[in-house]
Amino acid sequence: MKNIIFFLVLVLAIFLQVSLFQKIGILGVIPNLPLVLVFLISFFSKDYKKTILSAFFLGILFDIFSGMPFGIFTIIFVLLALVVSVLISTLVSHEKTSMFFVVVFLGTFLYYILAFVFINIFHLLGLTDLSLALGSKLFESAFFESLFNLILAVLLFPTRRFI
């Protein structure tokens, strides 16, 4: 039952991201709920398999509904989950909750860097019409989305005990 509820929460996160969150943007920047969930699960879950599967599932769903070339979000979310999991297991203790907020803030910048790299790889492979010119638009809003994601992380922080 706990896994079904967890699955439904992930589906709800994608639904909120592609519907409601599109309406609450400020200057075209919106918080990225699936990304914050990837960080939350990666940081606080002790189950490595659950972390990777959650990131993969969120990425697949986000790819389906985003309109971006299929696979970009899946690759990025899994890579970010791996990076955070390795960081947590080697450098950071789970008790250092302030580090979670640092991970969310800096991880959002890493998300933008990875998105830029993979969009350009997909473009070079002829899998998308998006081009290098998109880079300036991606980095334009990285700082503000990092702030939004940080606020969202503060709001979602109490849910860590359910992970």
Higher pLDDT, 110 or 125: 110
Does the pLDDT at position 133 exceed 60? no
In this prediction, residue 1 has a pLDDT band, given cuts at 50, 70 and 90, of confident
CA–CA separation, 41 and 52 (whole Å): 9
Which structure tokens are listed for 37?
A: 């969930």
| Residue 4 contacts residue 51 (beta carbons within 8 Å) | no
**In terms of residue numbers, what domain contains 81?**
2-162
In this prediction, residue 138 has a pLDDT band, given cuts at 50, 70 and 90, of low
Number of domains in the chain: 1
**Which burial class, exposed, middle or buried, applies to 105 when counting CB atoms under 10 A from its CB (0-12, 13-18, 19+)?**
middle
73-88 pLDDT per residue, tens: 999 999 999 999 888 8
Block residue for tokens 């979670």: 100
Higher pLDDT, 59 or 116: 59
SS3 26: strand
11-31 pLDDT per residue, tens: 999 999 988 888 887 777 888
Q: Which residues contact 111 (CB under 8 A, 6 or more apart)?
A: 32, 35, 76, 80
CA–CA separation, 121 and 117 (whole Å): 6
| Positive or negative: CA dihedral 121, 54, 8, 156 | negative
Does the pLDDT at position 106 exceed 90? yes
**Which burial class, exposed, middle or buried, applies to 140 when counting CB atoms under 10 A from its CB (0-12, 13-18, 19+)?**
middle
Polymer length of the chain: 163
Q: Which helix (H) or strand (E) holds 160?
A: none
CATH number, position 126: 1.10.1760
